């Protein structure tokens, strides 16, 4: 069975969280997958965006819910 091609379009590049020695970068972007609605996307990208790794895409509604979780959170727990 042929593999279905997944199309992506980076609508807006927001920033790079990390980059490893081989050039892969964990990026935050607004992206359209398969010509769908734009989503907030956090995932690993190979050099020149030729390859893509696992990540997460959030709709606007999901992003708003996630953001509300963080409003009163004590993030000092992450620095342990």
Domain extents in the chain: 8-73
Average pLDDT over all residues of the chain: 93
8-73 folds as Transcriptional Co-activator pc4; Chain A (2.30.31)
Per-residue pLDDT of 25-48, as tens digits, reads 999 999 999 999 999 999 999 998
Token pair for residue 58? 């959030």
3-class DSSP state of 52: strand
The model's pTM is 0.84
Angle formed at CA 23 by CA 18 and CA 26, multiple of 5 degrees: 30
27-38 burial code (b ≥16 CB/10 A, e <16) = bbbebbeeeeeb
């Amino acid at each position: 069975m042929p593999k279905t091609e997944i199309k992506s379009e980076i609508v807006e590049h927001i920033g790079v969280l990390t980059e490893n020695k081989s050039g892969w970068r964990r990026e935050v972007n607004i992206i359209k997958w398969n010509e769908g609605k734009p989503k907030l996307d956090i995932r690993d990208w190979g050099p020149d965006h030729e390859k893509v790794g696992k990540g997460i895409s959030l709709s606007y509604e999901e992003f708003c819910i996630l953001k509300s979780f963080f409003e009163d959170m004590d993030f000092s727990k992450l620095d342990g």
